[in-house]
Amino acid sequence: MIKKVSLRKAIINDMPAIRDLVYELAVYEKAASEFVASLEDYNKNFEEGIFQAILAEVEGKIVGMVLYYPAYSTWKGKMMYLEDFVVLEEYRGYGVGSQLFDAFIEDAKIQACKMVKWQVLDWNEPALAFYQKKHATIEKEWWNGKLIFDNE
């Protein structure tokens, strides 16, 4: 059993903790070597308003977060894209993730979004089960494409 979970919007001083959580997620997703964004990148991009985050804290310790940004659907209109969603392993199973996800959904609605989107790995059974409990549609017919730039 964990003590009370409190949620709050991220501030610039939270960037080291956010970056650490994203690194933990990259390790979980077996992609740690692909994680190259620096703390300076996080600070700069957060200050530019590129992304937002909601944090979960227990007794002053950041134990989870959702990181997201506005996007646009030509079919639906304004939307929010959930980039990263992570709860420290020892705090999973206590409803922290559900509270974070619900806060993300509420914030997207407050910001007048018509939809939210995210990706989930096909092997991540706990995440898939979580999203199914939230009545999410998991699309299996779309394939992801990307180009990575070396802007050194």
**Cα gap 101→7, rounded to integer Å:** 11
Q: Has 131 been annotated as catalytic?
A: yes
The catalytically annotated residue of 23, 91, 94, 131 is: 131
Compute the Cα dihedral for 126, 129, 133, 136 and give only its sign. positive
Query: Whose structure tokens read 């960037």?
Result: 15
Active site residues: 131
